[in-house]
Amino acid sequence: MADSKALTTREQDFSAWYNEVIARAELADYSPVRGCMVIRPNGYAIWEHMQRALDRMFKDTGHQNAYFPLFIPQSFLSREAEHVEGFAPETAVVTHGGGKELEEPLVVRPTSETIIYAMYAKWIQSYRDLPLLINQWANVVRWEMRTRLFLRTTEFLWQEGHTAHATEADAEEETLRMLGVYRTFMEEWMAMPVLTGRKTDSERFAGALRTYSCEALMQDNRALQAGTSHNLGQNFARAFEVTFQTEEGSLDFVWNTSWGVSTRLVGALIMTHSDDKGLVCPPRLAQWQVVIVPIYRTDSERATVLEAAERIRRELVAADIRVHLDARDGMKPGAKYYEWEARGVPLRLEVGPRDVAAGTVMLARRTGGGKDSLPMTGLAPRLAAEMDAMQRSLLDAALARREAASVRGASKEQFIEIMEGAGGFVYGGFCGSAACEAEIKERTKATIRVLPDAEFRSPVAPTHCLWCNGPSVSEAVWAKAY
Ligand SMILES: [Zn+2]
**53 C-alpha vs ligand 1 centroid, how far in Å?**
41
**421 C-alpha vs ligand 1 centroid, how far in Å?**
22
Closest listed residue to residue 270, CA positions, set 54, 20, 38: 20
pLDDT at 240: 94
**106 C-alpha vs ligand 1 centroid, how far in Å?**
42
Do 157 and 47 meet the contact criterion of CB atoms below 8 Å apart? yes
Q: Span 406-479: which CATH code?
A: 3.30.110.30
What is the edge-to-edge ordering of all strands in the sheet holding 71-73?
71-73, 100-108, 92-97
pLDDT digits over 377-401, tens only? 999 999 999 999 999 999 999 999 9
pLDDT digits over 267-281, tens only? 999 999 999 999 999
Is 3's pLDDT higher than 80?
no
Q: What is the mean pLDDT of residues 309-327?
A: 98
Do 199 and 225 meet the contact criterion of CB atoms below 8 Å apart? no
Q: What is the mean pLDDT of residues 157-174?
A: 98
Is 231's pLDDT higher than 80?
yes
CA pair distance 406, 138, nearest whole angstrom: 35
**476 C-alpha vs ligand 1 centroid, how far in Å?**
11
Neighbours of 243 (CB within 10 A): 16
Common-topology check for domains 288-386 and 406-479: no
pLDDT digits over 93-138, tens only? 999 999 999 999 999 999 999 999 999 999 999 999 999 999 999 9
Rg (alpha carbons) of the chain, rounded to whole number: 25
**174 C-alpha vs ligand 1 centroid, how far in Å?**
32
**420 C-alpha vs ligand 1 centroid, how far in Å?**
19
**438 C-alpha vs ligand 1 centroid, how far in Å?**
10
**291 C-alpha vs ligand 1 centroid, how far in Å?**
54
Q: What is the mean pLDDT of residues 183-200?
A: 98
Per DSSP bridges, beta strands 155-165 and 64-65 are unpaired
**268 C-alpha vs ligand 1 centroid, how far in Å?**
30
**461 C-alpha vs ligand 1 centroid, how far in Å?**
15
**44 C-alpha vs ligand 1 centroid, how far in Å?**
44
Cα 304 to Cα 272, 290, 313: the distances in Å are 40, 20, 14
Is 147's pLDDT higher than 90?
no
CA pair distance 337, 348, nearest whole angstrom: 8
Per DSSP bridges, beta strands 155-165 and 255-262 are antiparallel
**447 C-alpha vs ligand 1 centroid, how far in Å?**
13
Cis peptide before 131 (omega within 30 of 0): yes
**437 C-alpha vs ligand 1 centroid, how far in Å?**
7
pLDDT at 52: 98
Superfamily designation of domain 14-273: Bira Bifunctional Protein; Domain 2 (3.30.930.10)
pLDDT at 84: 78
pLDDT at 44: 98
pLDDT digits over 449-463, tens only? 999 999 999 999 999
- Grade residue 4 by pLDDT with cuts at 50, 70 and 90: low
Structure-derived torsion over alpha carbons of residues 269, 271, 274, 280, reported in degrees to the nearest 10: 10
**439 C-alpha vs ligand 1 centroid, how far in Å?**
9
**432 C-alpha vs ligand 1 centroid, how far in Å?**
7
**246 C-alpha vs ligand 1 centroid, how far in Å?**
43
pLDDT at 112: 94
Range in 73-77, 355-359, 442-446 the model is least confident about? 73-77
pLDDT digits over 53-66, tens only? 999 999 999 999 99
State the burial class of residue 466 (Cβ atoms within 10 Å of its Cβ: 0-12, 13-18, 19+): buried
- Grade residue 146 by pLDDT with cuts at 50, 70 and 90: confident
Question: CA-based angle 276:277:280, to the nearest 5?
Answer: 95
pLDDT at 207: 85
**433 C-alpha vs ligand 1 centroid, how far in Å?**
6
pLDDT digits over 195-225, tens only? 999 999 988 888 889 999 999 999 999 999 9
- Domain boundary assignment for the chain: 14-273, 288-386, 406-479
**183 C-alpha vs ligand 1 centroid, how far in Å?**
29
**472 C-alpha vs ligand 1 centroid, how far in Å?**
8
Q: What is the mean pLDDT of residues 331-339?
A: 96
Superfamily designation of domain 288-386: Anticodon-binding domain (3.40.50.800)
Is 2's pLDDT higher than 70?
no
Is 1's pLDDT higher than 70?
no
